[in-house]
Amino acid sequence: MSGSRGADHHTVIVIGGGQAGLSISWHLTQRGIDHVVLERDTVAHEWKDSRWDNFTLVTPNWQCALPGFSYDGDDPDGFMQRDEVYAFVRRYAESFDAPVLEHVSVTSARQGREGGFELQTSAGPMHAEQIVVAVGGYHIPVIPRFAEKMPSEIVQIHSSDYRGSHQFPDGDVLVVGTGQSGAQIAEDLHLDGRRVHLVAGTAPRVARFYRGRDCVAWLHDMGTYDVSIEDQPGGVGKRENTNHYVTGRDGGRDIDLRAFAVEGMQLYGRLLGVENGVLRFAPTLEASLDAADRVAESIKDNIDAYIEREGINAPTEERYVPVWRPDTETTELDLATSEIRAVVWSVGFRTDYRWLEIGAFDGEGHPTHNRGVTAVPGLYFLGLPWQHTWGSGRFASVARDAAFLADQIGLEVSAAHSRNSAQPQSQMV
């Protein structure tokens, strides 16, 4: 084909060798569709390289159900640790001999001049009739520009580079952000004996257990993870939402920032910036804590209603009572007089699809799609947060999303085969 001569050709090329890329590979293997999975590092490396030493899943092990492969250990209600998750995903790849090419990065992908897609990779040019982009939605760690104004002696890292308190010099640690990673990193440092200063954001929280069960189990039975994003309040705007903070550590428990404060953790409202070594905070702490609690209690309300509606015999449980409230809110902190020696920025990521030179993105660089299917024929995305439902970016629903895309790919392959079969007859006419 023009522009593809000498290129390694496949019917489908999957970009990304994590659980999403492997899930679609399983389906394509079952259908006998020629494909290859390109992984810039090694299979599942993000689980090993971008999580801290004491990381655990926040969803129970029984939710780790990939196509043709499920958790089969002796602790289905527990929470796998980092190395266990890494091993689990690698075993999955081995279970069906996934056609993964490791250490192959894609530097550019564009539509071919005569159809399909042309890829430039570290292993040479490749061509595919269809491509599946399974690289997740978290690419470039975000650190605010005002971090440059922090005193030079203070160690600064992004949450994706955090491994444990051993990375930092003696002294206090400031953690900025209370999404899942920020809240759990603050807990990790706190349990390790560090004095933590935590900047609270707008992330909601959820109770680990309620009325005798993990809240995830209740929500699963209630069908919460099956509601499409189009049917959610706010619609596709849900994709910008921060996940609820909770932990699977030590068998699972709540993360209660108020309880941390009682134990000596210093809490602050939104960080506005730093000038001359002085941190400035907005007086938003109490509002943030109250909002997080309201979400947790609203989830319990929904569980209560479900239990009553279904006539389930479940133990009753007293509702949460706040154990701490700020008397006043700190709006300034002079680093020169504090004991803070390190900062962990846990304020998220931004996408980076610059290598994908195809018009399939909105004005903010996010893929425009419906359940992973784009308006560009043959281009698909998999493993995105809220791709179709709440569980799309996690183990919970990636299998369902992969099956849906595999069906779309199968239809395209069949249609292409029919066109090719009819071509000689058309030429004779």
The reply to whether 1 falls in a domain is no
Number of domains in the chain: 2
Q: Which of 256, 271, 226, 164 is nearest to 399 (CA)?
A: 226
pTM of the model: 0.93
Both 244 and 361 in one domain: the answer is no
Per-residue pLDDT of the chain (429 residues; tens, 9 = 90+): 223 445 699 999 999 999 999 999 999 999 999 999 999 999 999 999 999 999 999 999 999 999 999 999 999 999 999 999 999 999 999 999 999 999 999 999 999 998 999 999 999 999 999 999 999 988 999 999 999 999 999 999 999 999 999 999 999 999 999 999 999 999 999 999 999 999 999 999 999 999 999 999 999 999 998 988 888 776 666 566 678 999 999 999 999 999 999 999 999 999 999 999 999 999 999 999 999 999 999 999 999 999 999 999 999 999 999 999 999 999 999 999 999 999 999 999 999 999 999 999 998 888 999 999 999 999 999 999 888 888 888 888 999 999 999 999 999 998 887 887 776 654 443
Both 92 and 216 in one domain: the answer is no
Q: What is the CATH number for 405?
A: 3.50.50.60
pLDDT of residue 240: 63
The reply to whether 85 falls in a domain is yes
Both 245 and 365 in one domain: the answer is no
The reply to whether 283 falls in a domain is yes
Both 28 and 60 in one domain: the answer is yes
Q: How far is CA 36 from the centre of its chain?
A: 24
Both 91 and 112 in one domain: the answer is yes
Classify residue 199 as exposed, middle or buried by CB count within 10 Å of its CB (0-12, 13-18, 19+).
buried
The reply to whether 101 falls in a domain is yes
pLDDT of residue 423: 67
Classify residue 283 as exposed, middle or buried by CB count within 10 Å of its CB (0-12, 13-18, 19+).
middle
> Final residue of a domain: which of 294, 315, 345?
345
The reply to whether 295 falls in a domain is yes
Both 190 and 306 in one domain: the answer is yes
The reply to whether 18 falls in a domain is yes
Q: How far is CA 405 from the centre of its chain?
A: 19
Both 367 and 288 in one domain: the answer is no
Both 25 and 90 in one domain: the answer is yes
pLDDT of residue 239: 62
> Final residue of a domain: which of 308, 330, 345?
345
pLDDT of residue 416: 83
> Final residue of a domain: which of 345, 360, 388?
345
| Domain of 298, in residue numbers | 142-345
Both 254 and 313 in one domain: the answer is yes
pLDDT of residue 237: 63
The reply to whether 2 falls in a domain is no
Both 211 and 267 in one domain: the answer is yes
pLDDT of residue 231: 82
The reply to whether 3 falls in a domain is no
Both 198 and 230 in one domain: the answer is yes
CB 349 within 8 A of CB 139: yes
pLDDT of residue 306: 98
pLDDT of residue 381: 97
Both 57 and 148 in one domain: the answer is no
Tokens of 104: 């192959």
